């Protein structure tokens, strides 16, 4: 996909949604951090259901530490991997209290030093909470990047680096959200809704499919 098409690709997504946002529900940077940790291998819908009850009783590092791991598990047991997530969250909250004055850090190396926070989680927090340019490549973004020809790559990190170089600068700050939402509702893994896709004309997917059929 050349530069002209990339500009039109993102301009089209922007025209349809000028202010894209995460579908995780949160009211503070700390709540966002916890929600993103919980969202690994889970849907935003399931996370929002759990955090609605959790944040009503514990919405700060101190309160979650006081809640304790056992009681925390009761609030998040509907979410996959809740045992390991509860352990990581308790440890993260203790570190935030002891080393960061209960404030979520805005630097990558500090975020990634927190239990349960990998590169993708750090990217989400940096981009969503602190409005830093970062590209959190999940399954949706990985699929779209390869399927459309926007930023093909064999690994998540390869796709992330390519996107940071190939997404036009004017769209970089919000590209993460546009791509996730497009992958979640239009460019789905199975049966992508190509007939409803506003950027279908810039995509390589149908061309590759047609070529494969000819062979």
Q: Is 120 a catalytic residue?
A: yes
Q: Annotated catalytic residue: which of 138, 161, 162, 201?
A: 138
The one catalytic residue among 49, 77, 106, 120: 120
Minimal CA–CA distance to 86: which of 104, 68, 109, 66? 68
- CA–CA gap between residue 16 and residue 54 (Å, rounded): 34
162 as an active site residue: the answer is no
Paired tokens of 116: 């349960």
* Alpha-helical runs (H) found in 58-129: 61-76, 82-100, 108-112, 119-128
Round to whole Å and give the CA distance between 92 and 132.
22
DSSP state of 80: T
Q: Are 46 and 79 in contact (CB under 8 A)?
A: yes
Q: Which of 7, 82, 86, 2 is nearest to 46 (CA)?
A: 82
Active site residues: 120, 138
């Amino acid at each position: 996909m050349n530069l002209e098409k990339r500009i039109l690709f993102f301009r089209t997504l922007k025209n349809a949604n000028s202010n894209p946002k995460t579908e995780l529900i949160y009211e503070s940077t700390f709540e966002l951090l916890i929600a993103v940790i919980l969202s690994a291998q889970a849907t935003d819908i399931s996370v929002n259901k759990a955090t609605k009850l959790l944040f009503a009783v514990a919405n700060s590092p101190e309160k979650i530490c006081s809640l304790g791991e056992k009681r925390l598990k009761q609030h998040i047991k509907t979410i996959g991997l809740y045992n390991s997530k509860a352990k990581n969250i308790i440890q993260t909250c203790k570190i935030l209290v002891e080393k960061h004055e209960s404030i979520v850090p805005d630097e990558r190396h500090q975020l990634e030093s927190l239990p349960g926070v990998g590169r993708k989680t750090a990217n989400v927090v940096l981009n969503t909470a602190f409005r830093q340019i970062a590209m959190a490549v999940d399954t949706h973004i990985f699929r779209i990047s390869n399927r459309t020809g926007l930023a093909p790559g064999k690994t998540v990190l390869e796709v992330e680096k390519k996107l940071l170089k190939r997404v036009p600068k004017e769209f970089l700050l919000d590209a993460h959200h546009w791509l996730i939402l497009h992958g979640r509702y239009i460019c789905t893994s199975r049966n992508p809704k190509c007939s409803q896709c506003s950027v279908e004309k810039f995509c390589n997917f149908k061309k590759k499919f047609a070529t494969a059929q000819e062979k």
